[in-house]
Amino acid sequence: MTAYLFPGQGSQYVGMGKEVLKYKEAEEVFAEASDSLRYDIKGLCLEGPKDRLSLTEYSQITILTVSIAYLRVLPYLFDGNPIFSAGHSLGEYSALVACSSLSFRQGLQIVQRRANLMKEASLKNPGGMSAILGLQIEAVEGITKEAICEIANINSREQIVISGRLEALSVAEALAKERGGKAIRLKTSGGFHSLLMKEVEIGMTEVLANEKICPPKLKFIPNILAEPVDNPEVIRDCLIRQVSNRVRWEETMKFLEKEGVERVVEIGPGSVLTNLAKKMGFTGISFELMLK
């Protein structure tokens, strides 16, 4: 049994998508994205500059585009029939396109507005994110309470991302090191998946109000529930609340394991999700590496 996984913000890099452009289906995806948003998305992916590509309003769109370009050419290289589809944070939109719940053009428009809302919230409520390695969830929970920040992503048993104001992160990082862990400040423009993004929910409610969301053709697993949903209105609510709530990725992967999934295919730039899956015992395939 196979599941498709789609990466989130932070997986972008200059040159991503280059290996897939020999397929006309991929060219068509880049052309549709550029036409929809009125700037050269292929050029930004291939040539950067890195500083621009790393900005929230560009990284989210380019990752979505590259992920869907890979998805469109997947049948040339892979003959598996997926049962489940899930994405890490931003990757949920790619996962919903894969499920035919959203069209690619819908995804582009929604993600562009989502990115702008997150950028605005980050300017109003400055913050950041740090990865805490080598500590169990209970220890990290205690640290966040002391430092007054939040757990944003539970990626694995010992890879937990925290989010909050910069001064709180500095306190949390020091506490983590004191207690035998390691802290790595992430290159994000804000404190995503925390209360610093709470006002984004209001904007996303407006963004999604008139969008048609179709029942997913695959079993879609949203981040905040870590189990499949097929009701379009529940999916809409999950997308609204996702930016300010925790990404329950480890629980998502445990659910797939319980359901008998043996193979996961990461569709998008990088192989972060593939590596996490392999540590849990899955057969992980990075479609990007398959293309090279």
Residues identified as active-site: 89, 193
- Residue 84 phi, psi (nearest 5): -115, 155
Structural tokens at position 115: 């990115």
Q: Are 242 and 267 in contact (CB under 8 A)?
A: no
Give whole-number Cα distances, 282 to 82, 257, 273, 277, in Å.
15, 8, 11, 5
Q: How far apart are CA 70 and CA 7, in angstroms?
A: 12
Nearest in space to 172 (alpha carbons), one of 139, 197, 194: 139
Q: How far is CA 94 from CA 138, 163, 260, 265, in A?
A: 32, 24, 23, 13
Supply the Cα-derived Rg of the chain in whole angstroms. 18
Q: How far is CA 186 from CA 93, 163, 169, 183, 219, in A?
A: 22, 10, 11, 9, 31
Half-sphere exposure in the Cβ direction for 80 (13 Å, CA): 20
